[in-house]
Structure 1
Amino acid sequence: MTYRVVQWTTGNVGRKSVHAVVANSDLDLVGCYAWSPDKVGRDAGELCGLDPLGVMATDDVDALLALKPDCVVYNPMFADVDELVRILGAGVNVVTTSEFINGHNLGADRDRIAAACAHGDATIFGSGINPGFIQLFAVVTAGLSDRIDRISVVESFDTTIYNSPATEIPMGFGYPIDHPDLQSITEKGSGVFREAVQLIADALGTELDDIHCQATYAETTQDLPLPGDWTIAAGCVAGIDVRWTGRAGGRDVIDIRGIWTKGQSLAPQWSTSFGYTVTVEGRPTIKTTLSFEPPPDFVAETLDDFIMLGLTITAMPAITAIPAVVAAPAGIATYNDLPLLQPRGVLKTS
């Protein structure tokens, strides 16, 4: 079966999604939504650095829904609930990377999304690398232990070259190190990680007593120019170490931690690795480190080439899920609801 796909936006992750959809023999790109007026009427391939595809970007939502796609690949920075309700209510499935795992972080808007799924007999699934796939990886790894005491996930990256101030400022980057609301800013900006903790707890069949967030910060000691015409001034946040922790039985049982740094002038200095470390403490304790390298044929001419390579791991978990999401019962689906997701249509055989 070939699945008809509409791509929703062509930003950082959206561009990589288009690359992946076009290269996948099981997927057919039939439409593309343009958020920016200057992209309307342009070929989706050209917008994403590819040869023309014959698919023109449009902001006409009715026209896109009239294409009767099997699935929308929804990649805005932040989810627009009105858009999701409209898509799902029209009977179109959605896979998304827009800070959505189980939707509980949306409050009452989650009920609107669930109602739209029921009305349209459609399914929504959210993932990225983290939150998302890395929690699935932790759950699968935990299946090797006959007793689990604690599961921890640590993401650690130097994000200096990443050009996305719109997603990083809400985390707390760029604020004065002594800003009185810094903790609450980071808690709100990283709130989707609460859903990631819930995902692991649900997989373990555990009801948590509490989920809490705590962050520490490092400042840059000199002005730090960054991509996107953005500068973090000296004395402002250029390093964030945030932890979302789930407690049960009076102790910490699930810990998801993100360590993100920028530049070489941090105070205090943090030693930042690159990748993900998953530790299942139990019998036995299992520790796994995931790192990522370019393929042998990778040729980069700009920093954006490296960024796009890195965004592959954000885009692909949602795209890999498309067949399972199309086949799933209507509603909000997580990794705990779907079968093993199989990477179809991507094996290079020639």
Structure 2
Amino acid sequence: MIDYTPLLDTLKSTPLASWHTTLAEGLQARLAELQHGDLERWQQSLRNLPPLDGVQHDFSRGVKLTGAAALPEATRQQLYDALQGLHPWRKGPFDLFGVHIDTEWRSDWKWERVAPHVDLRGRRVLDIGCGNGYYMWRMWHAGAAMVVGVDPNLLFLNQFEAVKHYLPTAPVWQLPFTLEELPEPTSAFDTVFSMGVFYHRRSPIDHLLQLKACLRPGGELVLETLVVEGDENHCLLPEDRYAQMRNVWFLPSVPMLERMLRRAGFRNVRCVDLNQTSMEEQRSTEWMRFNSLPSFLDPNDSSKTIEGYPAPLRATLIAERPA
């Protein structure tokens, strides 16, 4: 399905060399068991992507690919149909040869809030819960030497492969694992991102310890998650759903999250961004036609979710693994 040989070969010349064998064995087992009722349809969409020459990329303000010339209408329609075959698109937007994928999330807004606070030049980066890889392309443009993403969702993997199809030599790869399934990467990544994952974890401290284990000594964690207002003793544990999501377990206050990071052994912990999610940042579009944030908020009070909890507030924290 996917040839990971270039990634495995790259690892041999990095501090991740000892990861080579365990990752190769893990990938072989994982790829052999990949199953989903729509997998063949998604892979057919990838096969339907038209071959294009002179591909160039511009990731300075988003994820944009251009070709040597404007696409003929028939080719553009073929590309549009293939990409629509991978609906729904959550993270983005993308501009692929003039086809604008207006995704559910304006992930470019989040990246603009995060990017000023990280220096990725020459770094080996791990993106946990990377979705369709939107942020990974931005990380590469920000100077990362290598970007590895982890996400078990096979639709997201195929969306990533749709872009990778046109940039086959880019040092950006996506692995179909959860963090818990990922073979131990032996503490060798310079920067680890966990954005939009923490609140889905039943055991938040264990998640922080797993993230720390992926970092080299002195490496940096970028953690973005849902939070609530309050002091260091305050958190929200939803009774059932939160904003219609069943798998939301733990929303701490920023001071509590900072304390948790310190208890997990991180240092230099600081919150660099706090942002209320707006209905302009997360909404339904032609490329994600299901319900989105406007349907998840109280119709009479947008400061609350439909369940009566505080509306989504997201924080980005940065912390370091001690050297």
Say which structure is richer in strand: 1
| Bucket of the pairwise TM-score, normalised by the shorter protein | 0.3 to 0.5
Q: Normalising to structure 1: TM-score of the pair?
A: 0.35
